[in-house]
Amino acid sequence: MPTTLRVPYSYLDRQFADIDDYLADVRGLVRSGDFTLGAPLSEFESRFAQMCGIPHAIGVGSGTDALILTLKALGIGEGDEVITSPNTFIATVGAIAMVGARPVFVDSNEGFTIDVRRIESAITPRTKAIMPVHYSGNVAEMDDIARIAEAKGLAVIEDACQSISAERDGKHVGSWGVAAGFSLHPLKNLNVWGDGGMIVTKSEELRDRLRLLRNHGMINRDEIAFFGHNSRLDTLQAVIGNRLISQTPFITDTRIANARFYDSALESIPEVRIPKREANVKHVYHMYMIRVERRDALLEHLQRSGIEAKVHYPIPVHLQPAAKYLGYKEGDFPVAEDDSRTLISLPAHQHLTREELDYTVERVREFYKR
Ligand SMILES: *Cc1c(COP(=O)(O)O)cnc(C)c1O
């Protein structure tokens, strides 16, 4: 009987095992009293923009707000339609609904991103934007999406919440759309100590509008351009972000190495299907997802063995109670629905040890040998 390890999905206790340097930074912030829109936020925004290779970054309250504020800044709302895919974290679709627009779904492809062949038939006179999700840390087929959007006069807003540092053809996510939204949630690849989000854009005009929109529409203390939100990225979180942003290459490279390790260790198992990896894409593996037979039994086996495997997600968005009013039904999006029954996410984070990776592979092999 092999020894039981615990292979956690969350890495936060390991990532923050030593917090003295962070606390020294926080102490400095408290002394300065610079709690909202302070200098550390401007610093974090410019470092974030630089890392993405995109001119402007605007820090906001969450990844969800990054999408909501961008939609609002583009004037998308009541009576408009926004195209996205149903296999995503609920916030993509929630953001579209929260501005009053109607989410319109297009099925996904083998790489968990929107199937570009199906986008055009989903476009109506009410369509205003396409919101492709770089799901799991993969990158959607952006050249094709940008071409379709351009031909139809639609905005492209990239949901890059899971995909910091991901690239296609050497271009960072956020390079194609009018803007891209990122999440800094504690369990996203670049994280902070609570909720946070970032929008990147090449447009100065959009940047200026978003800066107002996140801060009550305030030009200055006395002048208000339009009614807005209170959704600034806390300076406290920017302080943490300024320390963590330099870890992003390590986080990204380690996740990629772990994914490669799993790919080659698992590919010989007939019951496991590893998605095709595109050579021109830098997939950053926010989630390491594979399609497997007898998924729920494997999940239980792994969990019993101490491995915190997960399912993202057992119910696709179009079949959620929240989406009932949209009128979709089972069978509408076969790829997303099949994925909801076959996908499993293995822990692949940057703090796993080689022993934990080996152990995880061994437990998967053992399951299919029986
Ligand atoms: C995490 C996430 C969001 C929302 O980000 P929050 O910071 O949690 O609000 C949106 N879309 C996707 C695909 C996500 O994974």
Judge contact between 177 and 157, C-beta under 8 A. Answer: yes
**pLDDT per residue as tens digits for the range 213-260:** 999 999 999 999 999 999 999 999 999 999 999 999 999 999 999 999
Mean pLDDT of 164-180: 98
Q: Which DSSP symbol is given to 248?
A: H
**pLDDT per residue as tens digits for the range 335-358:** 999 999 999 999 999 999 999 999
Whether the predicted model's global pTM rises above the 0.85 cut? yes
CA terminus-to-terminus distance, the chain: 15
Q: In whole numbers, what is the pLDDT of the chain averaged over residues? A: 97
Separation of CA 197 and ligand 1 centre (Å): 9
**pLDDT per residue as tens digits for the range 296-327:** 999 999 999 999 999 999 999 999 999 999 99
Judge contact between 155 and 74, C-beta under 8 A. Answer: yes
Residues having CB within 6 Å of any atom of ligand 1: 62-64, 88-89, 91-92, 133, 159, 161-162, 183, 185, 195, 197
- The phi, psi pair for 310, rounded to 5°, reads -140, 170
* Cis bond upstream, residue 313 (ω within 30): yes
Is residue 219 situated within a structural domain?
Answer: yes
**pLDDT per residue as tens digits for the range 32-45:** 999 999 999 999 99
User: Given a cut of 80, is residue 173 above it in pLDDT?
Assistant: yes
Domain range enclosing 318: 248-367
Atom 2 in ligand 1: residue holding the nearest Cα: 161
Separation of CA 64 and ligand 1 centre (Å): 6
Is residue 279 situated within a structural domain?
Answer: yes
| Chain-centre distance for alpha carbon 355 | 28
Among 85, 108, 159, which residue has the most ligand 1 atoms within 8 Å of its CB, making it the best to mutate? 159
Q: Would you place residue 2 in the very low, low, confident or very high pLDDT band (cuts 50, 70, 90)?
A: low
Q: At what angle do helices 90-98 and 63-73 cross, to 10 degrees?
A: 40
Separation of CA 292 and ligand 1 centre (Å): 25
Judge contact between 248 and 77, C-beta under 8 A. Answer: no
**Nearest to residue 172, comparing CAs of 315, 85, 53, 341?**
53
216 & 264 share domain: no
Is residue 126 situated within a structural domain?
Answer: yes
- The closest-lying atom of ligand 1 relative to the alpha carbon of residue 67 is 10
pLDDT at 357: 98
283 & 322 share domain: yes
Is residue 209 situated within a structural domain?
Answer: yes
280 & 363 share domain: yes
Say which residue the tokens 């399951």 belong to.
367
**Nearest to residue 44, comparing CAs of 238, 272, 308, 198?**
238
Return all residues near 360 (Cβ < 8 A) that are at least 6 apart. 7, 262, 302, 307, 346, 347
328 & 242 share domain: no
| Residues 165, 231: Cα–Cα separation, whole Å | 24
Select from 246, 277, 312 the last residue of a domain. 246
Please count the other Cβ atoms lying within 10 Å of the Cβ belonging to residue 48: 27
- The closest-lying atom of ligand 1 relative to the alpha carbon of residue 133 is 13
Walk across the sheet containing 155-159 and list its strands. 56-60, 197-201, 179-183, 155-159, 127-130, 81-84, 102-105
CATH number assigned to the domain comprising residue 284: 3.90.1150.10
Q: 180 forms bridges with which residues in the sheet?
A: 158, 200
Atom 7 in ligand 1: residue holding the nearest Cα: 63
Mean pLDDT of 284-291: 98
Return all residues near 120 (Cβ < 8 A) that are at least 6 apart. 148, 152
Separation of CA 52 and ligand 1 centre (Å): 18
User: Given a cut of 60, is residue 334 above it in pLDDT?
Assistant: yes
Mean pLDDT of 79-108: 98
Separation of CA 364 and ligand 1 centre (Å): 29
Q: Would you place residue 14 in the very low, low, confident or very high pLDDT band (cuts 50, 70, 90)?
A: very high
Task: Give the pairing of strands 155-159 and 179-183.
Answer: parallel
- The closest-lying atom of ligand 1 relative to the alpha carbon of residue 183 is 7
- The closest-lying atom of ligand 1 relative to the alpha carbon of residue 185 is 7
Query: Structural domain tally of the chain?
Result: 2
142 & 123 share domain: yes
Mean pLDDT of 62-91: 98
Is residue 8 situated within a structural domain?
Answer: no
- The closest-lying atom of ligand 1 relative to the alpha carbon of residue 286 is 15
User: Given a cut of 60, is residue 46 above it in pLDDT?
Assistant: yes
DSSP-derived 3-state class of residue 307: strand
H/E element, 51 = helix 39-52
Nearest-5° angle of CA 66, CA 75, CA 120?
A: 85
Q: Which DSSP symbol is given to 19?
A: -
Is residue 105 situated within a structural domain?
Answer: yes
User: Given a cut of 80, is residue 370 above it in pLDDT?
Assistant: no
- The closest-lying atom of ligand 1 relative to the alpha carbon of residue 162 is 15
**pLDDT per residue as tens digits for the range 109-159:** 999 999 999 999 999 999 999 999 999 999 999 999 999 999 999 999 999
User: Given a cut of 90, is residue 1 above it in pLDDT?
Assistant: no
83 & 127 share domain: yes
pLDDT at 4: 83
Instruction: Calculate what percentage of the chain has a pLDDT beyond 90.
Output: 98
